[in-house]
Amino acid sequence: MKIAILGMGKIGSGVYEYAMDMDTIAVVRTFDIKKWMDDMTTDIDDIVNDPEIELVVETMGGVNPTKEYALKCINAGKHYVTANKQLVSEAIEELLDAAKKNNVCLMFGAACGGGIPYLKNLYNAQNADKITAVGGILNGTTNYILDRMQTEGLDYEQALTSAQALGYAEKDPASDVDGLDAQRKLILACAVAWGLAPKAEDIPVSGIRHIKPIDIKYFKETGRVARLIASADKTEAGVSASVEVHLFREDASECAIHKNVNFAWYEGQRSGRFSFSGQGAGKYPTAVNVIQDVLSIMKGDGRMLKEDTVIAKASAERERCFYIRVKDHEFEAIEKIAKAVKREDGYVLSETIPVKTEEMHAMMKNMCGAFFAAIE
């Protein structure tokens, strides 16, 4: 198969290196903003108009100009493999429509879980079973930060600086620490599992930016461990999905996921829960997942979405009990649902009665610097 690679950064170069080692894949053209290799172009039309190129791999990231490039390549009849979760989560219907019209494959296994072969297995599973829930620890940066805060006593800023130094965080760490990266990956998992791609604005999201050592101390005292979880259930009406920190009992599988490792799972009605853990980012793991998609297409198994996948409404209706930490003067606002368990350093730490997830997110949005987590 003759392929082109758009974006020769870390992941694109990994794909290039692996493809060069394979007899069955030939990289005939690469694209980047500046030309620094012989076979490289800075003009996307050189790739779009080259009839020799059968498949395009995109590892550039972002939506602009990648959406335009993706549609051009697909409309020129080229299969498309991308690691770009932002692009696929925002433009899934358009990309799939174009792929269907042009009878080409669209695959994006590396866009959720990096190196973990999650989405393709999820697609295969939904063919054979009814998937009832999807989710997991889908962001390595936040897992790394939470893990170091809980195992080594680092504060949030120290742990974030360390994650950035190790290259785990996105260029703008806000998308990691505020949960948006996990939210995008969750949209992809829902689309693959149910053919329903929830809109980002319908998935309440809360990250780890406001977590403090006082929270960690309380989790330890109560035998709990915090992990950022993106999860979705199939409901009668569609999808119920959210992203927030969850507190697990120490013997839960999630607590054994340390550093920047990801942990992605799905639940089948007949088969029960399956989970996959491993590197959710990084040059070589992600490149291997991209290559797997290319090989699937070559084998005639290049499906990752149901034909009738659509953008769907979502809610976050699941009721849960929550841990909440607010400033002393803010406690009155949550007193109806929460019982204060501790007062310390000007804060009230409390636990709630069962509350709808979307209501909890809405309530906490207006409380500056407060932190909450779902109790498992």
Are the C-beta atoms of 144 and 191 separated by less than 8 Å? Answer: no
Q: Got the DSSP string for 119-130?
A: HHHHHHHHHHS-
Instruction: Write out 276-304 in H/E/C secondary structure.
Output: EEEECCCHHHHHHHHHHHHHHHHCCCCCC
CB of 186 to ligand HSE, least distance (A): 12
Q: Closest CB to ligand HSE among 89 and 102?
A: 89
The vertex-232 CA angle with 226 and 237, nearest 5°, equals: 145
Start-end of H helices in 40-155: 44-48, 66-75, 85-101, 118-128, 140-152
CB of 207 to ligand HSE, least distance (A): 12
CB of 163 to ligand HSE, least distance (A): 8
Are the C-beta atoms of 53 and 4 separated by less than 8 Å? Answer: yes
CB of 82 to ligand HSE, least distance (A): 13
Catalytic residue among 185, 283, 306, 336: 185
Both tokens assigned to 175 = 């998308």
Q: Closest CB to ligand HSE among 157 and 236?
A: 157
Please report the sign of the dihedral spanned by the C-alpha atoms of residue 76, residue 82, residue 84, residue 90. Answer: positive
CB of 303 to ligand HSE, least distance (A): 23
Q: Closest CB to ligand HSE among 184 and 361?
A: 184
Q: Closest CB to ligand HSE among 165 and 368?
A: 165
365 is catalytic: no
Residues that bind ligand HSE (CB under 6 A): 114, 139-141, 168-170, 176, 181, 280-281
**Type of residue numbered 270:** R
Is the backbone peptide bond immediately before 285 cis, with ω within 30 degrees of 0? no
Give me the active site residues, please.
185
